[in-house]
């Protein structure tokens, strides 16, 4: 079952169970996917819609946005809003693959460096492209970028 079908199925289940908060989050996910579909059509990207890898990237961005919002709400003393953001993160993460541990990220970076033959910081783009192709949705690429920079620098 592809990502779009899994999300649609979860949306229907949430409607049947009358889970308002979960339903709201699933509708936000669907809206983000449809926005990307429309953007692809405008670019001449075809009628098949977004791929699962693109959906994983969308979900990853949604989680990151909500983490930042929750942090801002906590700092501002708005704990009920922070709680809402954290609950949305839990729903979104149901559709993301398991996140890699620090050791697994380091091993993935080592493998990508060896695979691309990267020797200097100039090759960082090749390494990051290899990581993104293989581990979309499974690691924080900002942190991985810093690690790759340290490894090559």
Rounded to whole angstroms, the Cα distance separating 137 from 125 reads 18
66-100: per-residue pLDDT in tens?
999 999 999 999 999 999 999 999 999 999 888 88
With a CB cutoff of 8 Å and minimum separation 6, the contacts of 28 are: 62, 88
117-127: per-residue pLDDT in tens?
888 899 899 99
Task: Specify whether the CB–CB gap between 33 and 63 falls below 8 A.
Answer: no
Identical topology for domains 3-93 and 102-152: no
HEC secondary structure over 8-60: HHHHHHHHHHCCHHHHHHHHHHHHHHHHHHHHHHHCCCCCCCCCHHHHHHHHH
Least confident of 90-94, 125-129, 136-140, 149-153: 136-140
Supply the CATH classification number for the domain 102-152.
Answer: 1.10.10
Two tokens, residue 123: 């090759």
2-14: per-residue pLDDT in tens?
889 999 999 999 9
Looking at residue 123, the DSSP 8-state letter turns out to be: G
Supply the CATH classification number for the domain 3-93.
Answer: 1.10.1510.10
37-69: per-residue pLDDT in tens?
888 887 776 567 788 888 888 998 999 999 999
102-120: per-residue pLDDT in tens?
899 999 999 999 998 888 8
Tell me the pLDDT band of 143, cut-offs 50, 70 and 90. confident
Domain-by-domain residue ranges, the chain? Answer: 3-93, 102-152
Give residue 45's pLDDT: 60
Give residue 43's pLDDT: 75
By percentage, how much of the chain surpasses pLDDT 90?
A: 49
């Amino acid at each position: 079952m592809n990502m779009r079908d899994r999300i649609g199925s979860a949306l229907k289940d949430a409607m049947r169970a009358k889970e308002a908060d979960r339903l709201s989050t699933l509708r936000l996910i669907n809206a983000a996917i449809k926005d990307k579909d429309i953007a692809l059509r405008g670019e001449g990207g075809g009628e098949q819609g977004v791929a699962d890898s693109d959906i994983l990237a969308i979900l990853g961005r949604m989680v990151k946005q909500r983490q930042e919002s929750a942090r801002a709400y906590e700092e501002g003393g708005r704990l009920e809003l922070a709680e809402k953001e954290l609950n949305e993160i839990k729903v979104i993460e149901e559709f993301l693959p398991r996140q890699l541990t620090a050791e697994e990220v380091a091993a993935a970076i080592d493998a990508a460096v060896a695979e691309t033959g990267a020797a200097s910081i100039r090759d960082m783009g090749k390494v990051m492209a290899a990581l993104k192709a293989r581990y979309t949705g499974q690691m924080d690429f900002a942190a991985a970028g810093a690690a790759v920079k340290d490894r090559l620098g």
